[in-house]
Amino acid sequence: MLTPFLIRAFLLLSPSIFSLNLQAQDSNIPASAPGTDRSAPTSTGVTQSPEVLRLLQKMASIPHTLNYQGSFTYQHKDNPSLQSFRIIHWVEDGIEHERLQHLNGPEREFLRSGKEIGCESLGDQLLQGKISQLGVNIARMDQLYRFEIRGPERVAGRDATALLALPLDEYRHSSLLTIDNETGLVLKSWLVDESARPLERYQFIDLDLSPDLASIQQQPAARIQRSTNAQLGDCNPSKLKQPEHWQLAWVPAGFAFVGQRQVREQIDMLMYTDGLTTFSVFIEAATGAIPEGVAQRGATLAVMDSLTHQGKRYRITVVGEIPVITAQKIAQNIGGL
């Protein structure tokens, strides 16, 4: 699932972009009491089929090891026009590198690097069902989603399998993934809301699994370029950790804390995933009025709220591809340690 994550990274690394055009909403969702069990699995899961498990394991592991480049189209609900991108992924000296290039509008690109081959993130482990070593009662993927194989497809000239992921609660969206049979790359993805309305979709139109690495590395940088370290959490974690300085009294079942970083040296960024879905929480000391409300761009939603802790006021921003009810409840259940 590299491609949609890369696109959303522009938003997740820049919470201030959502400070404009907020649609204020009153929230009637009660806050959970401290100590609420936020990782207890649901009891409605269906045993995952071997074919689904193989697809998820392939999707989480093989693409990290590949050299490839391809072009794809991307569209979200707030902009009906198609956007075109090129993604380039290569491994050099055991380290992953990626370039996401905009093919429309101003010349710009987004770079990620730094993840070692063999370094599985927490999200990769959850996607593959590797939860026993984490030593906690965290929900399995088949307790969070009902997976359905929808049959064979052909995308970008390649044979693939369509996999539908339907959430078993109201706290996440549905997705339809078309997964390359050979490589595990997601060649097509639809993310839809609770009313089955498309939030975003992308689809590869060509894919080259034998790119000329020397030519790729000699490409000049785009006029506008942003970069980040690809490793957002620990490598091959053996246990779950908790954030420093902050506490989330509630997150939906199955979501686990991935890691924490400082953004612009003033904002704490906390990252969570259930293996398929991600969200981040930004916490920033604030003075003056703090806007509260909801903003959305495609599948990426932002809920802004405020928090007072030890006499100081903070701006809270929850950003992710999650429903409004989820983001609001998370924002209302944040406190300091």
Find the CATH number of the domain harbouring 309.
3.30.200.100
State whether 194 and 62 are in the same domain: yes
Residues 309 and 188 occupy one common structural domain: no
Domain boundary among the residues 170, 203, 229 is at: 229
The string of DSSP letters for 180-237 reads ETTT--EEEEEEE-TTS-EEEEEEEEEEESS--HHHHHTSPPPSEEEEEES--S-SS-
Residue 33 lies in a domain: no
Q: Using one digit for the tens of pLDDT, what is the confidence trace for 212-239?
A: 988 877 888 888 888 876 555 567 676 6
CB contact set of 222 (below 8 Å; sequence gap of 6+): 101, 102, 107, 108, 109
CATH number of the domain enclosing 120: 2.50.20.10
Instruction: Please tell me the distance from the alpha carbon of residue 191 to that of residue 173, in angstroms, as a whole number.
Output: 7
Would you say residue 177 lies in a domain?
A: yes
- Mean pLDDT, contiguous 10-residue spans, the chain (337 residues): 49 43 38 36 58 91 93 90 92 89 92 79 74 59 93 97 96 96 95 90 96 85 79 65 90 91 88 92 92 90 94 95 96 90
Domain end residue (candidates: 168, 194, 229): 229
Q: Do 258 and 219 fall within a single domain?
A: no
Of the candidates 142, 120, 76, 114, which has an alpha carbon nearest to the alpha carbon of residue 321? 76
Q: Whole domain around residue 307: which residue ranges? A: 246-336
CA distances from 190 to 123, 186, 199, 202, 206 (A): 20, 11, 8, 7, 18
Whether residues 186 and 296 fall in one domain: no
3-state DSSP assignment of residue 176: strand
pTM of the model: 0.83
pLDDT of residue 184: 95
Task: Give me 44's structure tokens.
Answer: 């409605």
Tens digit of each residue's pLDDT (9 = 90 or more) over 135-184? 455 678 889 999 999 999 999 999 999 999 999 999 999 999 999 999 99
Residues 311 and 224 placed together within one structural domain of the fold:
no
One domain, residues 166 and 54: yes
Pick from 289, 274, 265: which is nearest to 321 by CA? 274
pLDDT at site 72: 95
Q: Do 177 and 281 fall within a single domain?
A: no
Hey, is 250 helix, strand or coil? coil
Q: What is the pLDDT of residues 259-281, one digit of tens each?
A: 898 888 789 999 999 989 999 99
- Contact by Cβ (8 Å): 63, 2: yes
Are 326 and 252 in contact by the 8 Å Cβ rule? The answer is yes
Q: Where are the beta strands (DSSP E) in the chain?
A: 68-76, 79-92, 95-102, 108-116, 145-155, 158-167, 174-180, 186-192, 198-208, 224-229, 246-248, 256-263, 267-273, 278-285, 293-297, 300-309, 312-320, 334-336
Spatial CA neighbour of 306 closest among 322, 319, 293, 296: 293
Closest residue by Cα to residue 256 from 248, 265, 246:
248
SS3 assignment, position 156: coil
Q: Are residues 94 and 225 in the same domain?
A: yes
Tally of structural domains, the chain: 2
